[in-house]
Structure 1
Amino acid sequence: MVDLTLYHISPSRSLLALWMLEEVGAEYEVKVLSTERDEQREPAYLAVNPMGKVPALVHQGTVITEAAAICAYLADAFPEAGLAVPIGTPARGVYYKWLFFGPSCFEPAVIDRMLKREGGPRGALGWGDTDTTLAVLEAAVRDRPFLMGDRFTAPDVVIGGGLRWGMATGAVEKKPAFEAYVARCSERPALKRSEERDRAEAARAASA
């Protein structure tokens, strides 16, 4: 019996969770929600995630939401995949920093720019300003293969996926450091499998 179920919409942030599930190599089920039918707002799904958003992952009856939290959870739940940093080491703090940097700094900063709503009081914004956020991230990926050095870890799913989206939509400038980092992430076999699974699940849902 499969004990991992991902509630998914394509395209959406749940693509990160799909990628992470492929990285850990666990068997899982995907339940695709239709935005055309507004299924993410129906009572059945709101009972899973009252926010009415994806992703939501159910593991042995426990619901985990928020893409970065799901990536962190899966990295710890499946340590054999080698996607986490050991608890009790200083590097674990840096690992947490990048996991949280994605949803708390990178994503809101970029969306602010996309929606042309930049300019609020810098001290009131958790990310400060978009230029600084992107500069910090650029410096982090310029001189190392991945965020934690030579080894790919869960934060690279969160940040790498975010940068792929940002550059694909034109919201993030295609700087050499970003392009090289995203190219390395894009070579992950698990990412390619997740894209294949996404297409297959979307086609299956459309024909249902």
Structure 2
Amino acid sequence: MTTPVLHHVPGARSFRTLWLLQEMGITPEIVEWKIQDGSMRSPEFLAKSPAGRIPALEIDGTVIYESGAICEYLCETRPEHGLGRAPGDAERVPFLEAMHYAETIGHLIAGLNLQWIFLRNPEDRSDTVVKIEAKRLAATLMPLEQLLGTQDHILASGFSAADTMYGFTLTAAGKYVRLENFPNIQAYNARMADRPGHKAACALDGERNFPGKDFYEVGA
């Protein structure tokens, strides 16, 4: 069987796919890209990911982009790992909601990343926008904070691919929202970081190749 190829930026949302693959015992060939050098706008990359974003996963003779779609595909084609929830399963709805809610949070993080990290001229940053977006991010974390106060994982039954979809999201959120105000999320992050699959993914992740600070004071 051909080794899957993961198109990846260290420290970015493609970590979700890397982690899920490791939980399934699959180690991909990793092709590393840089956000700021323009390579992700090249015809070569756009042929794999039309929006010029990671991840893109070459697997089973096809290329899949969008981390949620990759997650669902891997779970459906490799059900023996028990990490997905098929149609008819009692947790199918919360599983699908987790796929998309992770992207709701991820979208807010992407907007804050743009304002704080990727603007060519930092003077173009809007203090009003970053404060509003940080407050919106904190608001989207609150339902998860409440959920994780009643159960150890995103799904009540235990660990699943739904958790891997938050692997990037709930750590990156801590750059803009003080996670000490979300103790259940902090405890959840610690539990996930202790998983062998997560540790293996971190070992493969690579060194972040774009600038950034540990925390941005944005009034949240």
Give the TM-score normalised by the residue count of structure 1. 0.81
Query: 1:24–1:75: 8 Å Cα contact kept in structure 2?
Result: no
Aligned to 1:108: 107
In structure 2, distance between residues paired with 1:111 and 1:173: 18
**SS, match of residue 49 in structure 1:** coil
Q: Which residue of 154, 175, 179 maps to 1:173?
A: 179
In structure 2, distance between residues paired with 1:85 and 1:65: 20
Q: Which runs of 5+ in 1 are unaligned?
A: 121-128, 203-208
Query: 1:7–1:55: 8 Å Cα contact kept in structure 2?
Result: yes
Do structure 1's residue 194 and structure 2's residue 193 form an aligned pair? no
Do structure 1's residue 152 and structure 2's residue 151 form an aligned pair? no
Change (3 A) 1:54 1:94: same
Counterpart of 1:40, as a letter, is M
1:1-208 matched pairs, under 5 angstroms? 1-35=1-35, 37-104=37-104, 106-110=105-109, 115=115, 116-117=128-129, 129-167=136-174, 169-174=175-180, 175-199=182-206
In structure 1, distance between residues paired with 2:112 and 2:149: 23
Of structures 1 and 2, the one with the larger relative CO (CA 8 A, separation 6+) is: 2
Large movers: runs of 4+ above 6 Å: none
Give the TM-score normalised by the residue count of structure 2. 0.77
How large is the RMSD of aligned CA atoms in angstroms? 2.5
**SS, match of residue 30 in structure 1:** strand
Deviation digits for residues 69-102 of structure 1, max 9, x if unmatched? 2122212222122211232123101111111111
Query: 1:7–1:56: 8 Å Cα contact kept in structure 2?
Result: yes
User: Percent of pairs identical after alignment?
Assistant: 28
Q: How many residue pairs end up in the alignment?
A: 192
Q: Decide which structure has greater helix share.
A: 1
Q: Which runs of 5+ in 2 are unaligned?
A: 116-127, 210-220
Change (3 A) 1:112 1:137: farther
**SS, match of residue 73 in structure 1:** helix
**SS, match of residue 49 in structure 2:** coil
In structure 1, distance between residues paired with 2:12 and 2:60: 24
